[in-house]
Amino acid sequence: MRADLAASYGEERLPRYTSYPTAPHFSPAIGEGAYARWLAELPAAASASLYLHVPFCREMCWYCGCHTQIVRRDGLIAAYLRTLRSEIAQVSETIGRRIKVEHIHFGGGTPTIMAPEAFAELMAAMRQSFFVLPSAEIAVEIDPRTLTAAMVEAMRFSGVNRASLGVQSFDPVVQRAINRVQSFEQTASVVDMLQRAGINGINFDLIYGLPYQSVASCLDTVRRSLELGPDRFSVFGYAHVPAFKKHQRMINEAVLPDGLARHDQACAIANALKEAGYVQIGLDHFARPDDSMAVAFEQRTLRRNFQGYTTDKGEVLLGFGASAIGHLPQGYVQNEVQIGAYAQSIAAGHLATAKGYGLTDDDRLRADIIERIMCEFSADLGDICARHGAEAGAMLKSSSRLKPLISDGVVRLDGDRIAVAKDSRFLVRSVAAAFDAHLDPAKQLHSRAV
């Protein structure tokens, strides 16, 4: 990483581009009627991925940017899961057939907060409403502090084959500052339980830019994580947005690393993982060379969606639960964010769509360019524009943000092909933003670029 560029571009607040256009541009103009129509119009050969949002935790981690709430009573969780099963059946009925499913992802919140038998019932409901392929990847996000042996058994019984463990940092000082005290021993025990159950796809989530975090503490977390041998790492920069997430006000801003310190931490983590044999994938993922994600990166088939980088090649993502986002060929839809409003819509027999976005031809063109930049650090504008009936020259001229990136050596232009310089890849979001026709730099809606 070049420190001069981190200083110049690192403070800019930009999307992570898990979609284009991004969620702040969704509108109530796209509602239940549009979603129902889009579902009914899905091609007969279409396959889908499913995302299920479980917005509950036992306690709040102060760094969290998710839509979640703290619950002490399991009755609230059980009621929510009944609503979730109703929504699954409702969407399947609207499609009109049992569409094939290749990927299932449970997110939150803490999905494993539900009772083990409830998890098995939810998986059974999905298999009843959709044709879940035997080869489907079924992934669950896990808080190692609360996972039980009974839940691991329910996951094994239900066909789960990938688990994402929230680690963030093993530094006890950092953990206390973010209200997430989680020992190395707890994490190691969970990895052992999962592997004994045959759930061998293990991801670790790490975060840099947390309060009191240093390069030394980041490297110690990486070293200890490597002892447990996960297949993949996701390494995210902490997004401090207390205006939107009020619990983040519990974090003392005075002890947050500045842009250059974040840059050093990200660089140190990346170098340590690559030295350990992991392949760096896009902005923030690392995988073993034989992992399917590393293979997809090498073969240029890697994709990006709301879960980050993915091997999922499908064009349909169905989101279930409060705040869940879906992606169909026609556009994006998002459910009601508030659990009560979501549950009322489903109970009344309505789809819970609160807002969305209908894609234009220009959106699809720019989405393809941005996805290739985010996934490959390069894009052949000539090829992409030709497939969309556009001209690469006009696309290049339309971007006022691209010229300074080229002048600063961040981007190299070879004919119609653009590539992010190797020493500037940490600014890939800045390069992707050069093709974002909706971006408003005046609105501080996103995390820092570094």
Question: pLDDT for 11-68, tens place per residue?
Answer: 787 899 999 999 999 999 999 999 999 999 999 999 999 999 999 999 999 999 888 9
351 Cβ contact list (under 8 Å, min separation 6): 32, 35, 36, 87, 90, 91, 94, 345
CATH class of the region 22-320: alpha beta
Range of lowest pLDDT (9-23, 129-143, 282-296, 327-341) = 9-23
As a whole number of angstroms, the distance between CA 248 and CA 211 comes to 11
Contacts of 21 (CB under 8 A, 6+ apart): 357, 363, 436, 438
Backbone conformation region of residue 167, classed left if phi is above 0, alpha if psi is from -120 to 50, else beta: alpha
What DSSP character marks residue 180?
Answer: -
Q: Per residue in 113-136, pLDDT tens?
A: 999 999 999 999 999 999 999 999
* Average pLDDT of span 80-89: 98
Cβ–Cβ < 8 Å for 51, 107: yes
- Is residue 447 very low, low, confident or very high in pLDDT (cuts 50, 70, 90)? low
The angle subtended at Cα 81 by Cα 76 and Cα 86, nearest 5°, is 130
- Indicate the length of the chain as a whole number: 450
- Does residue 444 register a pLDDT over 60? no
> In this structure, which amino acid lies at residue 163?
A
**b/e map 122-154, b = 16+ CB within 10 Å:** bbebbbebbebeeebbbbbbbbbbebeeebbeb
Mean pLDDT of 230-249: 92
Q: Which CATH class is domain 1-21+360-450?
A: mainly alpha
- Nearest-angstrom CA–CA distance, 229 and 143: 18
* One fold for 1-21+360-450 and 22-320: no
Question: Which pLDDT score is estimated for 441?
Answer: 66
Confidence band for 243, pLDDT divided at 50, 70 and 90: confident
**SS3 of 161, please?**
coil
Percent of the chain scoring above 90 in pLDDT? 85
Residues 319-343 as b/e (b if ≥16 CB within 10 A, e otherwise) read bbbbbbbbbbebbbbbbbeebeebb
Share the mean pLDDT of the chain: 94
Region of 96 (left: φ > 0; alpha: ψ -120 to 50; beta: rest) is: left
Residue 311 to residue 162: CA distance in whole angstroms: 13
8 Å CB contact between 199 and 162: yes
Residue 424, pLDDT score: 87
Cβ atoms of 222 and 273 closer than 8 Å: yes
Q: Is residue 449 over pLDDT 70?
A: no
- Domain range list for the chain: 1-21+360-450, 22-320
Residue 295, both tokens: 């293979």
Asked if the model's pLDDT at residue 448 lies above 70, the reply is: no
> Is residue 297 pLDDT above 60, yes or no?
yes
Task: List the Cα angle 104/376/231 in 5-degree steps.
Answer: 45
Instruction: Report the predicted TM-score, pTM, of the whole model to 2 decimal places.
Output: 0.93
pLDDT at residue number 259:
82
| CB atoms near residue 204 (< 10 Å) | 25
3-state secondary structure of 334: strand
Rounded to 5 degrees, what angle do the CA atoms 345, 348, 354 make? Answer: 20
pLDDT bin (cut points 50, 70, 90) of residue 406 is: very high
Cβ-based neighbour number of residue 222 at 10 Å: 24
pLDDT: is 288 or 1 the higher one? 288
